[in-house]
Structure 1
Amino acid sequence: MEGVSQLGLELEPGQVEQFARLLALLREASAQMNLTALHDERDIVLKHFVDSLTCLRGGWLEGELRVLDLGTGAGFPALPLALVRPDLQLIPVDATRKKVEFVGRTAQTLKLENVHPLVSRAETLGRGPGQREAYDRVVTRAVAALPILAELALPFLRVGGLLVAQKGPIAPEELEAGKLAAAEVGGEVRSVEPFTLPVAGDARTLIVVEKTGPTPDRYPRREGVPNRKPLFWRTT
């Protein structure tokens, strides 16, 4: 698959076939519902599949881990990760039921037994039984500004766990607010790595936040508040 070798990955023939099936399933479903704005095969491969796998940079997801994919959309990065890392237990979460149902059907079709999708909002799920401080990693891909991600993601992590956030270029103001927000909810920014997406050349940033202490009970705030009033950051 184009671009994967630049990430240091070598796909087996069976995995290449699975990615081809994923591509077909995504394009078929997107013709019926709004799953992705990308329709060209090359764009989907590079900007969904390869882009999803860039969260493997740096070795932050090594080991048998329980991983929450927060705001998974049509299953990214969860589905590509599941195809190349069967040792990860992946829980894709999104508030849009039709997208989560697509992820679930696709995981069944591809026989990805390590994918267990949920329909929920992060603010609610992060307070739920068996969810708070229950994960080794949280991954997010182009979901929200860093201060928002810190508040929504860190409650899910056990102390010592990591938020691995895939973003485009990040402004200094957002990064500074993200560092303050992370500290507020029990975390610390460990790594900020700018890079370019293989082949496509698009600018990307991989940000890693470590959960260094318990998240105060008041976080996350009620539904919608983290997005409307991000911690330590004014968007206008």
Structure 2
Amino acid sequence: MTPEGRRFLLNAAAELDLDLSPQAELFGRLLDLLVAGADQVNLTSLRNERDIILKHFVDSLTCLRGGWLDGEWSVLDLGTGAGFPALPLAIVRPELRVTAMDATRKKVEFVGRTARDLGLANVEPLTGRAETLGRQPGRREGYDRVVTRAVAALPILAELALPFLPVGGLLVAQKGALGPEELEAGTRAAAEVGGEVRAVEPFALPVLGDARTLVVVEKVAPTPERYPRREGVPNKQPLFWKAT
């Protein structure tokens, strides 16, 4: 990471009330590994240092807003892709036990290698689909928190994420601008699978000013056994939402 990139990282993180100076070297190594890995695997379309820092690193850490992840929690990153928000979370909050889950094996393998290279013992890579893993003993109701970043519409997220949570657990969903129709459908879907929307917080991404929304759903009742539905169905036929 260049000196300019380090300044971008620290200044943008400061807008989130985070001091990343102790972790700046780790983020620099993560940047190098991501750029190198992207040449072999389709990890990210971003190549510019500033874009990676702001749109991957800092954007990932916006899930820390509101203190919903404060504590020694087990956290599932559902649809981690190249490791976001899992890797930045594991760097900044070593007390979290983060499982980085994705259906694409090559991406999960990259996340596992990167976690080892960075010395992040609190990251578990996991390959699979939420519809299947969400029914497995030890995985179903096996996490205190689920985080998702730009994965799917809110009704789909509710069905895929809430089975992983026990009653009292939280889904912390990182979204872009959130329209009223999606929020209404997501609220109804959450109720169907045992959840209740606790917070909807619009904000602007530091430096860039892009619209973001943090949606927090609490698990208030057990998820009915019929959810999640079989692989592919939640995306093709979202609860209370017309798929596009």
Q: Normalised by the size of structure 1, how large is the TM-score?
A: 0.98
Selected match of 2:91 from 51, 67, 83: 83
Query: C-alpha distance in 1, partners of 2:132/2:215?
Result: 24
Aligned residues: 235
Answering whether residue 207 of structure 2 is matched by residue 212 of structure 1, we say no
What is the Cα deviation at residue 206 of structure 1? 0.3
Selected match of 2:185 from 151, 157, 177: 177
- How do 1:54-73 residues align onto structure 2 when only pairs under 5 Å count? 54-73=62-81
Partner secondary structure for residue 182 of structure 1: helix
CA contact (8 A) 2:131 2:231 kept: yes
Selected match of 1:222 from 214, 222, 230: 230
1:35 maps to which residue?
43
CA contact (8 A) 2:41 2:107 kept: no
Partner secondary structure for residue 20 of structure 2: coil
Selected match of 2:53 from 22, 40, 45: 45
1:150 maps to which residue?
158
Query: C-alpha distance in 2, partners of 1:233/1:76?
Result: 26
Partner secondary structure for residue 165 of structure 1: strand
What letter is aligned with 1:26?
A: L
Selected match of 1:6 from 12, 15, 22: 15
Query: C-alpha distance in 1, partners of 2:126/2:41?
Result: 19
What is the Cα deviation at residue 235 of structure 1? 3.1
Query: C-alpha distance in 1, partners of 2:146/2:211?
Result: 22
When the two chains are superposed, the root-mean-square deviation of aligned CA atoms in Å is 0.7
Selected match of 1:140 from 134, 143, 148: 148
CA contact (8 A) 2:90 2:96 kept: yes
Q: Normalised by the size of structure 2, how large is the TM-score?
A: 0.95
Partner secondary structure for residue 47 of structure 2: coil
CA offsets 1:124-158 (integer angstroms, 9 cap, x no match): 00001101111110000000000000000000001
Query: C-alpha distance in 2, partners of 1:111/1:87?
Result: 14
CA offsets 1:54-110 (integer angstroms, 9 cap, x no match): 000000000000000000000000000000000000001000000000000000000
What letter is aligned with 2:222?
A: P
2:116 maps to which residue?
108
Partner secondary structure for residue 10 of structure 1: coil
What letter is aligned with 2:128?
A: S
Query: C-alpha distance in 2, partners of 1:11/1:203?
Result: 23
Query: C-alpha distance in 2, partners of 1:140/1:46?
Result: 17
What is the Cα deviation at residue 12 of structure 1? 3.5
Unmatched 5+ stretches in structure 1: none
Query: C-alpha distance in 1, partners of 2:106/2:80?
Result: 12
What is the Cα deviation at residue 230 of structure 1? 0.1
CA contact (8 A) 2:236 2:243 kept: no
CA contact (8 A) 2:235 2:243 kept: no
Unmatched 5+ stretches in structure 2: 1-8
What letter is aligned with 2:14?
A: S
What percent of counterpart residues are identical? Answer: 74
What letter is aligned with 2:24?
A: V
Runs of 4+ in 1 over 4 A off after TM superposition: none
Query: C-alpha distance in 1, partners of 2:106/2:243?
Result: 30
What is the Cα deviation at residue 32 of structure 1? 1.8
